[in-house]
Structure 1
Amino acid sequence: MPYTIQIEHDGEHQWAVISCTCNLIDESDWLIQETVALMRRSYGEDAVVQNAQDVMADEIVGGTFSLDHLITAIRIGMPDPDAEGNKPRQLTNYRSQTAEMLAKGALAKAYNIQYPVAAQETSGNANQPILGFDGWGIREEDDSQYTLVLIQVKATDQKKHPPREARTLVKECKRVPTNLSAIARALTSMQRLLQSLDNQRLKKAVFRMLARLGEDQLPNMYISPAIVRGITNSSIDDLQPIREAVADYAPAISRGVSVSIGVTLEEFGRIVMQQARNTA
């Protein structure tokens, strides 16, 4: 796949710079397709379809229940670029949510972070921002233990390195270890959404994380600040302000990333959302 990864280490903290290529006029472009798949999965399509195949098996075989109709209905509820009216492009949900998916994809490639569930699954209005952390993830460590990953994303095409959004990420990262309410809500939501998955080890791990929080102790945790760029190339300099402040994130450890895709974030976001909603 056409991307490059550079990782730098500051002791236990790590920082990745990822450059991708994208062809917006090619519907089969790998980055578009990967992002579309992650978007659909984040909105629960895979889990709902799998559940339907289990629960509605007899009706599916008998021809009285259509998985195609089910998928069409699920995709109707996904973000619709045309429903956002005349919002400034940088404020559109289709841009911000595709930036989140790009950040998740980059973090997965750099650090093997997994996303078994996502906040989008229970979003009441897909065209409104989702409050709380920009993303949740899980990393399975070499000792088979799990680490909670909390993601904060800033999308920008500002040409300077670092962009001004990096300073905002510093402030957000500093707040993460002290925002016990948000961590508790994230873990509770993850645990509830995990009920549809057959992974007892992960379910137990999230229960333990919640119980640990109830003892006024943080679970093992990565903070993952992500800068997502369009046509401006990503650089290790993008992450410099965040790297300089790592002492303020303790006891969390950083797994940061700056990723660029070579095309404008607005165009990419619109195409991804249109494809994600497509049932043809």
Structure 2
Amino acid sequence: MMQPTDVATTIDAAGWSGANGDVWAQEWQRTDRSFADLSVHLNRAVREAMASGPIAVADVGCGAGGTALAAASANPQAQVTGIDISPALIAVAQARAGATPNIRFVAAAVEAAIGAAGPFDLIMSRHGVMFFDDPLDAFTHLRTATRPGGRLVFSCFRAAADNGWARETMAAVGEALPASDGYAPGPFAFADETFVRGLLAGAGWVEVNARPVDFAYRAGAGDDPVADAVGFFGRIGPAARALKVAAPAERAAILERVRALCAARMRDGHVDFPAAAWIWSARNPH
């Protein structure tokens, strides 16, 4: 196992520092919208974990910066550092932050930035911690970058079977659901509550708590919500993966199945799918 100061891993660097990160940067408004209902709960949990006064906060896998910006607004005396491996996402986050004085963003792998920027009073993440090659080593490293008594708050998906946006789009494109137990880096890596609880305890965190949150995953809105949702799913998620490898003759059929799926989910001018997440919290005792 790597030493905690190495955490070599983190995310698929070749993908997220390049093409994957570029797509998420281009789609940041729609991805933020898809998580907006969850972010209400996560941002509340972050506020509850934040001490008042001058503190240091890290947002791991900060993406386009929405969670970091919410934290910076909640405590103007906090210094918030958002870290993401994608330069394109960091550029979006910096543009959104503008002249906000108590926030900065760093384009780097977590292991290259978290120790140098810490120690932190709070480490948080919105769905940014499920991609570590060695999660035990990674969460140990995150804890060593946290001050004694400091907090950890993050969200992650529950099982794919509990997430209608994934379950239904996977079925539409003929993709099998991922296993809900064990660990493999990816969106559903932390679906298993028992695994994550043991992981955090093994990394030295205490007062480990998991809260399930059900939320509406908004895929489409605007003048043509169905077309908007199809466009979104064509860029990110199971349908995007299927389209990438499909023969040209198969693409139209895949898009039609996704369109029918989104049309069936159309309600009140929006295309929403059921989604399920965990919000985890823990404390560094040392």
TM-score range, shorter chain: under 0.3
Instruction: State the TM-score, normalizing by the size of structure 2.
Output: 0.26
Higher helix proportion (structure 1 or 2): 1
Higher strand proportion (structure 1 or 2): 2
Instruction: State the TM-score, normalizing by the size of structure 1.
Output: 0.26
